[in-house]
């Protein structure tokens, strides 16, 4: 019985790690993608060394902000809980009182 419990515990911990990692990436990707797009636009508008430096710096800033934000959420409230709050639709959770008294 102990071996089954241990293997189940290992399985659930690995599933928890996978979901936490995927939500960490979701949090990270938003500022990184924004920095990447802005950096590419800056470089394409001015394809010189200065444009390359500013565009690259913008991409690196987006990367660092994404890592910092995702790690902060992981440490404070957890990535899965944070994304659950963001994705939740509280409008659907509330009881719709205007349609509850429909006349037939």
pLDDT at 19: 84
**Per-residue confidence in pLDDT tens, the chain, 104 aa:** 456 677 778 888 888 888 888 888 988 999 999 999 999 999 999 999 999 999 999 999 999 999 999 999 888 888 888 888 777 776 766 665 555 555 54
User: Residue 4: what pLDDT?
Assistant: 64
Tokens 């990692």 belong to which residue? 21
Predicted pLDDT of residue 99:
54
Q: Is the dihedral of CA 45, 47, 51, 55 positive or negative?
A: positive
Tokens of 102: 């429909």
17: left (phi over 0), alpha (psi -120 to 50) or beta: alpha
Phi, psi angles (nearest 5°) of residue 52? -65, -40
> ∠50-55-56 over CA atoms, to 5°?
100
> What letter does residue 80 receive in the DSSP assignment?
H
């Amino acid at each position: 019985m102990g071996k089954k419990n241990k293997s189940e515990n290992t399985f659930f911990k690995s599933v928890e790690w996978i979901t936490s990692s995927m939500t960490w990436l979701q949090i990270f990707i938003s500022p990184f993608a924004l920095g990447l797009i802005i950096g590419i636009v800056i470089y394409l508008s001015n394809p010189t060394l200065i444009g390359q430096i500013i565009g690259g710096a913008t991409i690196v800033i987006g990367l660092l902000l994404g890592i910092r934000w995702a790690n902060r959420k992981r440490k404070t409230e957890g990535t899965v809980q944070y994304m659950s709050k963001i994705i939740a639709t509280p409008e659907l959770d509330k009881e719709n009182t205007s349609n509850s008294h429909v006349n037939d």
